[in-house]
Amino acid sequence: MLKHLYARALQLAASQYAIFWLMLTAFSEASFFPIPPDILLCPMILAKRCKAWLYATVTTLSSVVGGLLGWIIGAFLLHYLAMPIIHFYHAEQQLINLQDKFNTYGVWIILIKGLTPIPYKFITITAGAAHFALIPFLLASLITRGSRFFLEAVLLYFFGSSIQDFIEKRLIWVTSFICLLLISGIIAFKYI
C-alpha cells in the first residue's frame, strides 16, 4: 500500500496542482497521514530549483498548521481519533513514554524528535495529549520542521538530482546524528 501511495505522490509532484498537493500532504502528515511531504518536495524542487525556498516555506507552514491539528486531536479527541492512529503504528507504549517526558523536557522533545525517524504526528498528538503549551509547541514545530525542509531545499538547490538519492535514503540518519551532537553538547554544557 505504501509503495502505491509513494508512486502516486510522485505523479502529483509533476501535476499543475503540485503546490496544493504539497500543502495537503505536509498538513496531513503532521497529524494523521503516513506519507511524508518530502516525496513531493524533492521532485518539485528538482523540477524548479528557483522555487526551492517557496516550496520549503509552504511545506514548513503547512506542516506546522497540520501539527496544530495533531495537537487538537491529542488534547481533545485522543480516545476517539488518536488511539486508532497510535494503534496503527503499534506505538501505544511510545505515547505513554512521550507523555511522561513532555512534563520534563517539553520543547526539547519537539525540537529533537521533529528531525528524527519518529513520525512527527506522534509528537503533535502526544503534545496535545500532555496539554503542552500551544505557543511553545508551535514555535518549536516551526523551528524543527523548517530546519528539515529548508535543509532539503538547500541540498537540492545546490546539488540537484545527485543529492536526491542521499536525501531519500540517509537524510533522517544525518539529522539524527546532528541531534545526537546537539544533545551531547547540551549535556556537556550542563556539566561543565
Which of the given ranges, 15-29, 54-68, 177-191, has the highest pLDDT on average?
54-68
Average pLDDT for residues 173-191, to the nearest whole number? Answer: 60
H helix intervals, 30-163: 38-47, 52-76, 83-88, 92-105, 107-113, 120-129, 134-159
The answer to whether 36 and 64 have CB atoms below 8 angstroms apart is no
If we measure between CA atoms, which residue out of 153, 156, 89, 169 comes closest to residue 122? 89
What contacts 137, CB < 8 A, 6 or more positions away? 67, 71, 107, 110, 127
Residue 28 belongs to what domain range? 2-191
Identify the residue with better confidence: 60 or 108. 60
The letter for the amino acid at 118 is: I
pTM, two decimal places: 0.77
Which grid coordinates belong to 110?
519537539
Q: Is 2's pLDDT higher than 80?
A: no
Structural domain count, the chain? 1
Q: What are phi and psi of 32, to 5 degrees?
A: -155, -25
Span 25-64, pLDDT tens digits: 999 999 888 778 888 898 888 888 899 999 999 999 999 9
